[in-house]
Amino acid sequence: MARLKRLLKRLAIGLAILVGILLLANAGYSWWIGRQLEQRLAALRAAGDPTSFAELAPEPTPLEQDAAAQLAQLAPELEAFAKEHFQFHEKTPLGQAFDKRQDQGLGPTPEQAAAMGEILTHYENLLSGLEQASHCTGYASQIDYSVGYPQMMEELFQPCGDVRTAARFLRMRIIVLLAGDQVDEAVRTGMMILRLARHYEGEPALVNGLVVIAVRGIGVEGINLALRAGPVSMELRPQLDEELKRQDDPLRIVHMFKTERVLNLGACQGMFVEAWWLPWIEKGLQIDMIEFYDRMLPMLVQNWHQSTPPFSQFNNFPHRSYISRVLIGLMEPALEAGLDAVSRDVAFIRSLRIVNAITAYTQREGQPPTGLESLELPAAATIDPFSGEPLKLKQTDHGWVVYTVYQNRTDEGGDFKDQADWGLAPAGYVGAE
């Protein structure tokens, strides 16, 4: 019995020593991982990149120059219009009939245009407010950057509705203006949408970047319709070209993903509170997240056709835990979709710049151009980000079609069905002709 007691005592001592060694090893590894994380974060800050929500907070901007603050002041009117817009399109026969005409590439009937015009008369102050906001020189996001991750997700979605509603309001105005042959004013209204979209790029994260692209698309499509509807003053065309030049920024995705990285790092914090004795898991995940972005971001300075390897390739490196590989892998589809959306956005902007040049040439010379070489646009402004070659032009009975070969990099002759190709076309064009 005494011998058994001595054996158990030795085993207990040995187990205590082993546990002590494991605790020391865990503490040492956690300290080492924590030190590594601080070094990585310090390197990002030294490069001027944000690493926390607080670092995303913008500098204060005077109200008269702050588009974000002015849009926030317009929120009640935007909400009222949103309700009336929904009521017209979803609950009235005129609105439902107009939506069907739109699906067929047709404009409104006089009665439908008059109904929409009546709605717009209720919001003259909203129009002047949006005009003023679009001409602001700054944008200081209204998000509260002092909150933690769960609250931040709620904060990110708050401004989305206002800018979307503003774009819908201005789009309705374009439709009514074109029904009244007020082409120049329709182009100016479309430019307001573009400027508001450019301001909204001051909001962080991928979700808001996608909202920017959606809003800009509304402006691009509205201006496309206007340019094809009739003569545009030659004084207005260079203003439009200059705005499109400012909109053409393929590198906006770098800013978008750098702010998305902050959101991802914030999501890691406190994720493993139940495993408090293993702090290196959380810190290791943050390091792996930083390394994932370090591998990915340099590829984004290239065009889509140069950076098409799957995002999984950037996650193909040793991780500090299996959890890192799984969680980072879950991000890949959203990030790939973001890259595709930005490339499509760039192709859209460049296509509109070409449409502006084509219609200007035809208006000035009395005959259509023979091709891109006739338009005197910078070569970089005509490149399809999906192929690296010039965007495609095609003359049809409806007018010129300008398009990207899109993801399959194959020219389908301007077939927009199922997005085989994609771009800008005249009203009534639905596919290859």
**Percentage of the chain modeled with pLDDT above 90:** 60
Whole-angstrom distance, CA of residue 284 vs CA of residue 323: 10
Could you give the angle at the alpha carbon of 338 between the alpha carbons of 332 and 341, nearest 5°?
145
Whole-angstrom distance, CA of residue 295 vs CA of residue 385: 21
Partners of 392 in the beta sheet?
Answer: 403
pLDDT number for residue 16: 66
Residues of the chain whose pLDDT is less than 70?
1, 4, 6-10, 12, 15-16, 18-27, 29, 273-278, 302-312, 430-433
3-state helix, strand, coil in the chain (%, to 5): 70, 5, 25
Give the model confidence (pLDDT) of 291-308 as tens digits. 999 988 887 776 666 655
Give exposure, 173-197, as e/b (b: 16+ Cβ within 10 Å): bbbbbbbeebbebbbbbbbbbbbbb
Global pTM? 0.91
- DSSP letter for each residue of 178-237: HHTT-HHHHHHHHHHHHHHHHHHTTS-HHHHHHHHHHHHHHHHHHHHHHHTTS---TTHH
